[in-house]
Each structure stands twice: as structure tokens, then as C-alpha cells.
Structure 1
């Protein structure tokens, strides 16, 4: 493997020590810089033309990417974009456009300037709005990167009380960020919510609310023709069992949760007062089977 391809495998940047460990001599590095194959960012760091800008920024600042800026490197869910670089810097000096975090106390990424997942999540819990931090933690737990008990052990005392409350919202299983968000919104509205319920004749549903209303949280694949037909047949099967069904999408759960909860409450109220069984349908109107 040549130097350029090696750097590409490291997000386009690496330290001299990393390169030398991989077998590239100082002469080889000097020749690569002379030929324009790589660039010398500063003493001890080399980059390729296809380098990741956040990784380069972290090397330049002598810091570690953390919080939401590190999420994509661990495959963690996030809400929206990142409007600033989040770093843990050894110097602690203020830099424009950078959100500074405290020191990292756990093992860091094996070769990139990125905090370890434990510090990334601790920083996120103390920095981000509640739901943004929640989806990152949920994603890490769902991937078995760490446990809730481990995180709680790292956040003791009264000053971390609010942070630990976020951890209490994490589900044992969540296949998407929509599930943990919907569960949080529904339970905070006072509803009884069961996740991943196996309904006989229907299959596994995302949410069963108050034991009578199915809520499905649909991603992009649910817009495909075959999936739409499958969903409709599942709805029919649920109706035969006396269960109503509502479907919501990313925009509903993430951007309009109040409207989603209000619609769920309206359906539950209508069911409670019998609006799905009008009085004119007196007993005996259904033909015998």
C-alpha cells in the first residue's frame, strides 16, 4: 500500500509515528511531500488531498473530536447537522467556531484524533439538548458499545442528576432513533407504551399504545411499493383484532412531536367514547358468519 492509500484508510491524516509504524520511512515521506502526494500539516502530521476536514481540524488544534462531532465515526444517531466543531483540547485555548469540552478520561480512538465513545457520550450528555443526547446514547447502547450502568457509574452525585434522568429514557432495544423519541413523547404524555410487541396475526409492531392502538414508525423503505402493500395488509389484520393503527415518519417524530401526540390522544379519546362504533350499528347488524 502506498502512502496516499494508507492515509485514505485513516480518513486522510496520520501522525509521523503512525506512518513509520506502518513502514514508511522519513525519506519516503519527504519524497511524497515533494511530489505533492501528501502535505505536511504541521510537525508530526501528514494529510492527503482527500482528508476529512474534521480530522484535520482536530490534528491542527492538537485536540480530540468529541460530543456530536465524533458521532459519525462511531455510527451514532444524531438529530440534524453539526454547527460547530466539538473538541477536547489539551491546551484548552479558545478557538473560533469550536465548542470546548473537558479532558478525556477513557481510552481514545485507536488511530484517529477522536475521544473514546465513553467520553463522547459523557460530553454529549452534558452539552447537547436532552433528546439529541438521548439518541446518541441509545445508538451506542443498541450497538453494545457500552452499557447504561457503566455510564451511570461515570456520572455520580447531585450535579449529574439531570444527566442520569436522560439515561433512564434509554430503551433495552431500539432499531431507530424514531423509536426512542416516540417512546419518550408518548410516556411523557401519560400513555402506556409497549415497544416491539408481537401481535398474533399481525407480527411485531413498533409501539402498542394503551393496549389498543398500534403506532408504526416508518423509515424510507416504507415508501416502496411492496412495503406499502405489506403495511396495508398488516393494518387490515390489526383491524380484525380490534386494533387501530397510525403511521408516522421522521418529520413527524423529530420535527412535530406535539402534533403526533395530539393525534394519538384524539384517536384514543374517540375510541373511549365509542365513535368507532356508531349507535346505528345495533347488535345483530353483522351477518352471521
Structure 2
């Protein structure tokens, strides 16, 4: 296998020591660099020209992709904060972070190779819990559970050092289909309003059920990508109404940018007893 093919199989970037252990000689590495087939990142990393820029940045900093940046790479639901997140151990010889970059100083709970450029999902979740607002962090943890990257049993056995991480672990459920469902459930819970998730009614599961009769349906950012899906949702809402349920359907933007009105509508519905059986 050529050096370029070997690098391509490793996301386009690797430490020189890894290449040497794989059987490539220092001469072969220098020749590839001189021919501009690969490049160097700092002194000890080699990379293809199209290596992911976030991994290049991690190597340049002497750290690892962490927190929301690692979560994004894993494809988990999250709310971006406009920063690139990295991690490093104290005394690791990293360079100073630049504008729009944030360094997390933490180790574990999962140990990893000194040449790793991306934190494992468990470590990334801990960073998120310590770095992001509680409801945003909980949405990421629920997304990880829903994606089957972790299990409640596995996370429950981790030795978590911070109160923030333990609080998110205690609240996680994995019942939300997307993070945008976790956020309103969390906000309503803070008001003392219990919302049951994924209750099957009229042949389909609803996102949330308050009391016995108030249904909360939450449409994600990518929801209703087809007319058929939109039609199916409308038909289900109609079936729920005919069965005596009140349906409140909200979308991504209303949850994130118009929550005050959504919350007020839910409280008014409860005040009218629309959550109760009549």
C-alpha cells in the first residue's frame, strides 16, 4: 500500500510515528513531502492536501477535536456555538488557540492514544455537559443514545468527575427522535409539567403527551421533506382531534426563537383543562 493510500484510510492525516510503525521509511516520507504529494503539519504530522481542516487544526494545536466539534463529526444533533472545540492535557505542549477556537483542559473518562485527533464519544459528551447550557447538552446526550453510539448502561458506569456531567446523565432518556424534541421537554419539566414521550395514539407515536389529552408535536429542521410526510402528519393530527385530543404542533424555529409564545400557549391550554379527560 502506498503512503497516500494509507493516509487516505486514516482520514488523510497521521503522526509520523504511526507511519513508521506501519512500515514506511523516513526516506519515503521525506520524498512524498518533497514531491508535494503530502504535506507536514507542524513537525511530526503528515497529511494529504485534502485532509479535513478540523483535524489539521487539532494537530497544529497539539490537541484533539472535542466537545461540539467531535459531536458534529459523529453526526449527532447539536446547536452550534460558532467555535471549534479542542482538548488537551495540561502540560501537553500545545500551541495557543486562535480566534473562534476553544481548548478544553480535561482527561477521560475514556483513555485514548496519544496520537488520536478526535475524542471518543464519551469524552465529547462530558465536554458538552461542562461547556454548553444544560438543555443543549441534554439534547446531545439524547441524540447519542438515540443513535445507538452509547447506551444508558454504558454511560451509567462511567466515572464522571463533574456535577454538570452527572446532572445531564441523570436527566437523559434517549426518547427524543431529535434534539429539538429534548429542549421543550426539558423546559416544560423545569415548570413542573410532566411530558410523556413516544406514546402510541391512533396508530402513531406522538412526540409528547401532557396529561391525558394534550398532544405536543415538534417538527425538526429537516422535517416534512416530502409532501407525503406532511400529509401523513396532518392526517394523524386530524385523527387525534376526532378522538378528543388537543394537538399543539410547533416547529424548529418556534422552539429556538419563539419559545415564549409556545410556552404561553401550552400554559393556556392546561389552564383550560385541555390536558384532562372530559
Query: What is the TM-score with the length of structure 1 in the denominator?
Result: 0.81
Q: Which residue of 2 aligns with 1:244?
A: 246
CA distance 1:55–1:92, change in 2 (3 Å): closer
Q: Which residue of 2 aligns with 1:217?
A: 218
Partner secondary structure for residue 120 of structure 1? helix
* Runs of 4 or more above 6 Å deviation: none
Three-state SS of the structure 1 residue aligned to 2:143 is helix
Contact 1:92 1:100 in 2 (8 A): no
Q: Residues of 1 paired with 2:86 and 2:64: CA distance?
A: 8
Q: Residues 125-204 of structure 1 correspond to what in structure 2 (within 5 A)?
A: 125-148=129-152, 151=155, 153-155=158-160, 160-199=162-201, 201-204=202-205
CA 1:132–1:173 in 2, change beyond 3 Å: closer, same or farther? same
- Count of aligned pairs between the two proteins: 271
Q: Does 1:102 align with 2:105?
A: yes
Q: Which runs of 5+ in 1 are unaligned?
A: 278-289
Tell me the residue number matched to 2:77.
77
Match of 1:33 in 2: 33
Q: Secondary structure at the match of 1:40?
A: strand
Segment drifting more, 57-66 vs 1-10: 1-10
Runs of 5+ unmatched residues, structure 2: none
C-alpha displacement at 1:173, in angstroms?
2.4
Report the CA distance between 1:183 and its aligned residue.
1.2
> RCO greater where, 1 or 2, for CA within 8 Å and sep 6 or more?
2
Quote the Cα distance in structure 2 between the aligned partners of 1:109 and 1:212: 52
- Greater CA radius of gyration, 1 or 2? 1
Cα 1:252/1:226, change in 2 over 3 Å: same
Do the aligned residues in 1 keep the contact of 2:62 with 2:95 (CA within 8 Å)?
no
Residue in structure 1 matched with residue 208 of structure 2 by the alignment: 207
Deviation at 1:45, TM superposition (A): 0.9
Relative to the length of structure 2, the TM-score reads 0.84
The aligned counterpart of 1:6 is: 6
